[in-house]
Amino acid sequence: RSEEIGFDLTLIAELSLNDIKGAGAPTLDAWSTAAALAAVTKRLELMVAVRPTFHNPALLAKQSANIDGIAGPGRLSLNVVSSWWADEAKKCGLHFETHDDRYARTSEWLDIVDGIWKQDHFSYSGKYYQVEDSLMQPKPITRPRPVIYAGGESEAAKELIAEKCDAYVMHGDPPQRIREKIADISERRERKGLPRMTFGVAAFSIVRDTEREAKRELERITDVKQSAGGYDNYQQWLAGTSLDRKVSLEDYSVTNRGLASGLVGTPAQVQERVAEFEDAGVDLLLLQCSPQLEEMERFAQTIIQRRDRTVEPLISMQSGGVKSTV
């Protein structure tokens, strides 16, 4: 449905347990879901989360190349996440490493995936992985490779992303703060002699006819208790990640600090905020909303379609404007 109403990209999260509603709540497998969506959609970009802790890089290179072929050129992308949830890893029988060790593993993992996508007879010798004379056909049909997104606010994360990824996705923040982050990563890329990245930011959307209605919905969304099903998981996320500012219980009510982006208000106010993000250098907004289907429809009608009628296009699948995503 998101493809039909104007969205350009969907992020398929990868978790074996449910981090929001509690570990026992249902959650879908990301990669089989991506394969299914690739077969029934036509233009939607499928950004599939992948955690190196959970995937052998040579096997993931093969798996993703296959889905890339099903989807068609430019439709499969990877959102590489260096893991944060210790309990989940343990329940899956996996060793959970320290923060910087996880990023060191991710660095090797990216080298191997990229190498196998692009080369035959690929070999690699590192601290975490040994690959000898790997052969993989068919290669991805997307050239030079499927886009690799990643996010992170630690020094280790930013250096890794600037060097080995194609796109930087950020937690929610006001446009001016996002502008500063884009400048930082862009400077790192320039020092390495690499081209400009794509930049995305998480944002929770509440669009209503009046500010009063939007505020009332915001109060509903943020009315959470420390006894909520996923609160312990949130505490583990805080312990297992490195952020550049503190987060509150209100931040926990939505993922990726989405409320900090400020997409809450009337259609005119939200449109203005989207334009501010574009001016800051943002290429895509990773939208969150609840309940998802109803609010996706509302955002499409009040923001995407209205802007498409009045502005040369700020929200577009292929042009340089801000992509609409969910």
DSSP string computed for 24-77: TS----HHHHHHHHHHH-SS-EEEEEE-GGGS-HHHHHHHHHHHHHHH-TT-EE
- What CATH number is attached to the domain comprising 234? 3.20.20.30
- The string of pLDDT tens digits covering residues 271-322 is 999 999 999 999 999 999 999 999 999 999 999 987 655 543 333 322 233 4
Backbone angles phi, psi at 17, to 5 degrees: -125, 160
pLDDT for res 25: 82
Q: Is 306 domain-assigned?
A: yes
Q: Is 4 domain-assigned?
A: no
pLDDT for res 251: 61
Taking the alpha carbons of 301, 305, 306, 307 in that order, is the dihedral positive or negative?
positive
Q: Is 73 domain-assigned?
A: yes
Average of per-residue pLDDT values in the chain: 87
Separation between Cα atoms, residue 278 and residue 273, nearest integer Å: 9
Q: Is 193 domain-assigned?
A: yes
Its domain, for residue 37, covers 9-325
Closest CA relative to residue 323, chosen from 193, 203, 220, 238? 203
H runs (alpha helix) in 79-154: 86-91, 99-118
Tokens of 274: 């989207």
Cβ–Cβ under 8 Å, residues 7 and 296: yes
Separation between Cα atoms, residue 99 and residue 298, nearest integer Å: 39
Number of domains in the chain: 1
Q: Is 3 domain-assigned?
A: no
Cβ–Cβ under 8 Å, residues 142 and 67: no
Q: Is 1 domain-assigned?
A: no
Q: Hey, is 271 helix, strand or coil?
A: helix
How crowded is residue 34: how many other Cβ atoms within 10 Å of its Cβ? Answer: 24
Q: What DSSP element (H or E) covers 310?
A: helix 305-310
Closest CA relative to residue 303, chosen from 7, 13, 89, 71? 7
Taking the alpha carbons of 265, 150, 74, 27 in that order, is the dihedral positive or negative?
negative
Q: Is 310 domain-assigned?
A: yes
Q: Is 316 domain-assigned?
A: yes
Peptide bond into 175 cis (omega under 30): no
- pLDDT band at residue 88 using 50, 70 and 90 as cut-offs: confident
Stretch 249-269: mean pLDDT, rounded? 86
**Pairwise pLDDT comparison (308 vs 176), residue with the higher score:** 176
